[in-house]
């Protein structure tokens, strides 16, 4: 029997308390044995283990950039105990066999629960539905062609109709391919014009969201907007929620903190899809996360090998790291600004993402009988981010050199220590 007693941690609500973990679950602290391992958590905050609705682990196919093992080690470093792994790997996760393969690799190597996201269409081609039902039998509840938009309206309608039978969710990468085509790599505006970069207009996102929420209303299905980046999309989502449409949304840490001005030096580290937006959009995203219009934070952790990023801005791969710094960014942009308290952080980064993804053993309160998924947070410690220190295999870290909180001191996944720095 293994036991760990955490004493003096500040719990949600503000009171200090003890937590006893035995065989992967929380039990009554009064039952601790005399030889129990103890951790003094005075001054630290206990939160449920974080859940990421959106990351890229690159395995299978691009193990030079990331593996399930390295990606989930980075996740644990960031306080995550569960991640949803997007389908755009090679081969694409568009069959039940591909789902089972990813789960088998994760069972051997992962430091967090890995839940595969199934593709909406075969090969992410946007034409023919993938094996949605068979993947659902394998445990998939979230489906996305992320990296590409399901742009065909009829295909989107059929996908929404199909997943309703098993309470599945279609998660959309909202990007009209005509308005923001292959050359679009920077928010369309003064900066993109001055730098000569292909413009990605805000409306290319919101027109897809507007179409999709109407399809979700017609079908009565669940619809989730990946990495919302514009004020216009938020307006559409608020309108849809007011009508009772079953829509949820996520925002990335980089869209909460960084703006279009980051691309001024043509540094391809800051090339991401959707692109970084101007201040007014960043402010709208923070407001929407605070008031619950956007339910959760999804990292869109997108590791890339150096040879995929070391190009001219317009030719480099899209994406940036996110798992290790996500909580730090939320602390600086939301907690420090008084927009969220710690209960709000738990809701946006653990409870809500678990509900959206249909996870029953994650995003749970720190109570007796619940799975021991936990992160201990230091609200005061800070660091200068060093991309060389990342646990990811890749180094496309947009926060390199920036002063940020360094909050995670301990992560427990089902009672197992997956990260410890105390």
Residue positions in the annotated binding site for Zn(2+)?
54, 56, 146, 173, 227, 300
Residue 242: CB atoms within 10 A of its CB come to: 8
Residue list for the binding site for substrate: 56-58, 88, 273, 304, 318-319
Given CA atoms 155, 156, 161, 167 in this order, what sign does their dihedral have? positive
- HSE toward the beta carbon, residue 129, CA cutoff 13 A: 18
Let me know: does 92 contact 128? Beta carbons within 8 Å. Answer: no
Residue 171 backbone phi and psi in degrees, to 5: -105, 120
Pairwise CA distance, residues 184 & 416, whole Å? 44
Let me know: does 370 contact 72? Beta carbons within 8 Å. Answer: no
Q: Which residues contact 307 (CB under 8 A, 6 or more apart)?
A: none
Residue 335: CB atoms within 10 A of its CB come to: 18
Residue list for the binding site: 54, 56-58, 88, 146, 173, 227, 273, 300, 304, 318-319
Let me know: does 151 contact 176? Beta carbons within 8 Å. Answer: yes
Let me know: does 197 contact 313? Beta carbons within 8 Å. Answer: yes
DSSP conformation class of 370: S
Give the three-state DSSP class for 88.
coil
What's the token pair of residue 325?
Answer: 């710094």
Judging by beta carbons within 10 Å of its beta carbon (0-12, 13-18, 19+), is residue 97 exposed, middle or buried?
middle
The closest alpha carbon to 247, from 172, 176, 175, belongs to 172
Residue in the block written with tokens 């949304």: 249
Largest CA distance in the chain: 68
Give the three-state DSSP class for 369.
coil
H helix or E strand, kind and range, residue 405: strand 403-405
What residues act catalytically? 300
């Amino acid at each position: 029997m293994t036991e760990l007693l955490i004493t003096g941690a500040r719990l949600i609500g503000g009171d200090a308390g003890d937590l006893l973990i035995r065989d992967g679950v929380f039990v009554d602290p009064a039952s601790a044995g005399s030889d129990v391992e103890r951790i003094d958590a005075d001054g630290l905050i206990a939160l449920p283990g974080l859940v990421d609705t959106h990351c890229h682990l690159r395995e299978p196919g691009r193990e030079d950039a990331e593996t399930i093992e390295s990606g989930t080690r980075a996740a644990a470093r960031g306080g995550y105990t569960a991640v949803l792994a997007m389908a755009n790997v090679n081969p694409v996760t568009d069959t039940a066999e591909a789902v089972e393969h990813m789960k088998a690799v994760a069972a051997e190597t992962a430091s967090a629960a890995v839940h595969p996201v199934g593709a909406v269409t075969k090969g992410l081609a946007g034409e023919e539905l993938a094996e949605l039902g068979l993947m659902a039998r394998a445990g998939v509840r979230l489906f996305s062609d992320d990296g590409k938009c399901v742009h065909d309206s009829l295909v989107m309608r059929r996908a929404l109709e199909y997943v309703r039978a098993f309470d599945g969710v279609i998660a959309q990468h909202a990007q009209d391919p005509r308005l923001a085509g292959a050359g679009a790599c920077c928010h369309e505006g003064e900066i993109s014009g001055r730098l000569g970069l292909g413009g990605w207009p805000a409306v290319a996102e919101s027109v897809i969201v507007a179409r999709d929420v109407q399809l979700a209303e017609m079908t009565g299905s669940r619809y989730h907007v990946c990495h919302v980046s514009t004020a216009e999309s938020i307006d559409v989502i608020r309108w849809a929620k007011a009508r009772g449409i079953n829509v949820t949304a996520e925002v990335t840490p980089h869209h909460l903190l960084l703006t279009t001005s980051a691309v001024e030096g043509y540094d391809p580290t800051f090339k991401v899809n959707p692109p970084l937006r101007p201040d007014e959009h960043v402010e709208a995203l923070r407001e929407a996360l605070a008031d619950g219009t956007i339910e959760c934070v999804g990292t869109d952790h997108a590791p890339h090998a150096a040879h995929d990023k070391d190009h001219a801005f317009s030719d480099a791969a899209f994406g940036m790291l996110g798992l290790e710094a996500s909580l730090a960014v939320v602390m600086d942009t939301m907690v420090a600004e008084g927009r969220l308290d710690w209960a709000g952080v738990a809701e946006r980064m653990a409870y809500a993402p678990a509900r959206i993804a249909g996870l029953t053993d994650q995003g749970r309160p720190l109570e007796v009988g619940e799975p021991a998924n936990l992160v201990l947070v230091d609200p005061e410690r800070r660091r200068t981010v060093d991309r060389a220190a990342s646990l990811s295999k890749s180094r496309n870290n947009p926060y390199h050199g920036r002063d940020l909180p360094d909050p995670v001191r301990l992560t427990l996944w089902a009672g197992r220590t997956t990260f410890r720095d105390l």
